Amino acid sequence: MASFQVLGSRLEYRWIGPRPADAPTIVFLHEGLGCLGMWRDFPDRLASATGCGALVYSRMGYGASDPVRGIRPVRFMHDEALDVLPAVLERFKLEDVILFGHSDGASIALIHTGARSGSVRALVLEAPHVFAEPVCIEGITRIAADYETTRLRERLARHHGRNTDSMFRTWTDVWLRPEFRQWNIEEYLPPIECPVLVVQGEDDEYGTLEQVDAVVTRVKGQAESLLLEHCGHSPHSERPDEVLEAAARFVQKTLDAGR
């Protein structure tokens, strides 16, 4: 797997399709327990359907990227959005960008775009978190117990290798700290002017439709949502064809409007 250096860390990545000089680029930002490999072929399919290039990478501590250093601060998603992601975009000279974020990755996309208004062409957000909800804390409490009593660690290790334990424990630790219950990024929503698509499973065990409503009603740009019945926290894995169709249609509409 290819890798690149950014801010002193080596991150694994994969490039799909056209280069930045030839087409817009969709940058995929994975969930809190995700990585490059866990997207499977979804980025390839979306790039093919839209004619865009795609950059998929694992954040520090995930997949085959460098291990996480120390404990995660409560503002770890801010650090990714305001420091790391801009450095990644600069590294690949990406100026025409669509961000596709899942869960923590969707929150990172929102923070980045809200802080740098006008820098992003569009946002596709799966199961975004804009504030900490009891249902999310309860879900992470359950998964922390599952890590010790089920084959969850084994399944994650297939993708994260040597990073598995540190990745899981630093992530669950920060979400379960008492101070994280005050975490909130709603201040970043009003400055977002680009089109936004929010995708949410109605059976999401980590967030309610209040997260969707917060995004759709508070961003400045045109926003729409796709709510999927009988779907949990990972729509692109659980309902890939429907998410692909909706995301491709949204991206194409955005690109057509910009011509």
Structurally, the chain folds into a number of domains equal to: 1
Look at residue 259 and tell me whether its pLDDT is greater than 70: no
CATH number of the domain bearing residue 189: 3.40.50.1820
- pLDDT value of residue 69: 86
Look at residue 5 and tell me whether its pLDDT is greater than 90: yes
Number of Cβ within 10 Å of residue 94's Cβ equals 16
Residue percentage of the chain with pLDDT more than 70: 100
Look at residue 68 and tell me whether its pLDDT is greater than 70: yes
Look at residue 258 and tell me whether its pLDDT is greater than 80: no
Look at residue 37 and tell me whether its pLDDT is greater than 80: yes
The residue whose two tokens read 């409560």 is 74
- pLDDT value of residue 118: 82
Nearest CA to 107 out of 142, 136, 144, 87 is that of 136
The pTM for the full model equals: 0.98
| pLDDT tier, 134 (very low <50, low <70, confident <90, very high otherwise) | very high
Instruction: Tell me what the mean pLDDT of segment 162-166 comes to.
Output: 98
Please, where are the H alpha helices in the chain?
Answer: 42-50, 76-79, 85-91, 104-115, 134-149, 152-160, 164-176, 209-218, 235-238, 240-257
Residue percentage of the chain with pLDDT more than 90: 97
- pLDDT value of residue 119: 85
pLDDT, tens digit, for every residue of 188-221?
Answer: 999 999 999 999 999 999 999 999 999 999 999 9
- pLDDT value of residue 256: 93
Q: Which domain holds residue 164?
A: 2-257
- pLDDT value of residue 44: 98
